[in-house]
């Protein structure tokens, strides 16, 4: 049941004559194709498998001869299964239009996803290179179904794909760009937490590959911003050492045993974080660079214990 129909129901209007016969032609032609975020597998930072609209022109059907208007019939919301939706709308439980729409009012583009039964936790999602802010939503909703999701898009476009900073090779990166984007992201976090009343003490950063690497860089450059993080298929990217104090920060690193590109760097990342005071749990699973059900299981188990401990502090 579409939102225009729902709002008309709430207002007590009849929908039978709300739109002319030709309106459905325009709506069908303009309606975008939407696909769910997918958990991807493949090489380093695989491209997101997002849906695209057909490139063909929209064919308009010839309009039928003008017919006499039919008498409006009342809509039986019980028979159509819409009674429950209407009830939720009246109670304010249905998200307003555009709640998960792409926003560009802050330094980074982002989307907000609110759960039906929020528990006060927040998860900030940072995608891999070649993906976008929707790529980790499916994974995150399985891991933390009651958390507010703040899904952010990297600002750098390199080789036609979105990233968090420029890379020189698959395992070497532009250091000035890392510093610049880490600073911008730290500023974005401050604005977002104020705008949406997010409690940083109950916030987990979930990063994958290139996105996880940025989280690690932010921790080293702005240690007060991140108190709990999950770094999937990550590696250290800063070439210089910092004096970051990560005492009290909790980190889960998950590497893929057959990830020939990033897995060899996992021990160095774990050592770096521990050296600066973070409490690190390192896990290696039977996987390549891609993500799957084992990641959901490992992260969910760790998060249930780590979040409980975080709330005590």
* Per-residue pLDDT, 39: 35
| Closest to 178 (Cα-Cα) out of 262, 251, 231, 240 | 240
Q: If pLDDT is split at 50, 70 and 90, which confidence band does 305 have?
A: confident
Neighbouring C-beta atoms of residue 193, cutoff 10 Å: 17
User: What's the Cα-to-Cα distance from 216 to each of 14, 235, 270, rounded to whole Å?
Assistant: 55, 8, 11
The pTM assigned to this predicted structure is 0.69
Give the up-direction half-sphere exposure of residue 149: CA atoms within 13 A in the CB hemisphere.
Answer: 32
Q: If pLDDT is split at 50, 70 and 90, which confidence band does 122 have?
A: very high
Whether residue 300 has pLDDT greater than 50: yes
Stretch 272-283: mean pLDDT? 98
Neighbouring C-beta atoms of residue 153, cutoff 10 Å: 21
Neighbouring C-beta atoms of residue 54, cutoff 10 Å: 7
Q: If pLDDT is split at 50, 70 and 90, which confidence band does 287 have?
A: very high
- In the chain, what percentage of residues exceed pLDDT 90? 64
* Per-residue pLDDT, 307: 60
| Closest to 203 (Cα-Cα) out of 194, 213, 193, 211 | 193
Model pLDDT for residues 59-90, shown as the tens digit of each residue = 444 444 444 444 434 433 333 333 333 344 34
Stretch 282-307: mean pLDDT? 93
- In the chain, what percentage of residues exceed pLDDT 70? 66
Right CATH for 110-312 from 1.10.340.30, 3.30.70.1170, 3.40.50.1820, 3.40.50.2300: 3.40.50.1820
Model pLDDT for residues 246-275, shown as the tens digit of each residue = 999 999 999 999 999 999 999 999 999 999
User: What's the Cα-to-Cα distance from 251 to each of 104, 134, 240, 301, rounded to whole Å?
Assistant: 29, 23, 21, 13
| Closest to 227 (Cα-Cα) out of 202, 256, 192 | 202
Stretch 182-211: mean pLDDT? 96
Say how many Å lie between the first and final Cα of the chain, rounded: 45
Cα–Cα dist 264/91, whole Å: 52
Q: SS3 for 205?
A: strand
Neighbouring C-beta atoms of residue 44, cutoff 10 Å: 19
Stretch 215-236: mean pLDDT? 97
Cα–Cα dist 76/82, whole Å: 9
Q: If pLDDT is split at 50, 70 and 90, which confidence band does 23 have?
A: very low
């Amino acid at each position: 049941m579409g939102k225009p129909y729902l709002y008309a129901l709430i207002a007590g209007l009849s929908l039978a004559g709300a739109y002319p016969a030709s309106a459905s032609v325009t709506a069908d032609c303009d309606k975008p194709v939407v696909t769910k975020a997918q958990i991807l597998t493949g090489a380093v930072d695989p491209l997101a498998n997002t849906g695209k609209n057909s490139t063909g022109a929209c064919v308009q059907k010839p309009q039928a001869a003008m017919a006499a208007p039919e008498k409006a019939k009342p809509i039986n919301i019980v028979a159509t299964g819409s009674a429950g939706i209407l009830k939720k709308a009246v109670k304010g439980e249905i998200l307003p239009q555009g709640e998960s729409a792409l926003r560009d009012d802050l330094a980074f583009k982002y989307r907000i996803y609110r759960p039906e039964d929020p528990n006060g936790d927040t998860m900030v999602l940072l995608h891999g290179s070649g993906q976008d802010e929707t790529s980790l939503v499916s994974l995150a909703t399985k891991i933390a179904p009651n958390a507010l999701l703040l899904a952010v898009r990297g600002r750098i476009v390199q080789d036609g794909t979105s990233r968090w900073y420029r890379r020189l090779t698959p395992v070497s990166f532009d250091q000035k760009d890392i510093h610049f984007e880490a600073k911008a992201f730290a500023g974005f976090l401050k604005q977002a937490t104020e705008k949406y009343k997010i409690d940083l003490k109950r916030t987990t950063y979930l990063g994958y590959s290139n996105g996880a690497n940025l989280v690690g860089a932010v921790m080293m450059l702005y240690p007060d911003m991140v108190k709990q993080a999950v770094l999937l298929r990550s590696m250290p990217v800063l070439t210089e050492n910092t004096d970051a104090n990560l005492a009290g920060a909790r980190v889960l690193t998950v590497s893929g045993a057959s990830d020939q590109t990033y897995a060899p760097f996992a021990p160095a990342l774990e050592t770096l974080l521990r050296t600066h005071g973070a409490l690190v749990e390192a896990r290696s699973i039977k996987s390549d660079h891609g993500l799957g059900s084992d990641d959901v299981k490992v992260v969910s188990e760790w998060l249930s214990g780590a979040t409980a401990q975080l709330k005590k502090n």
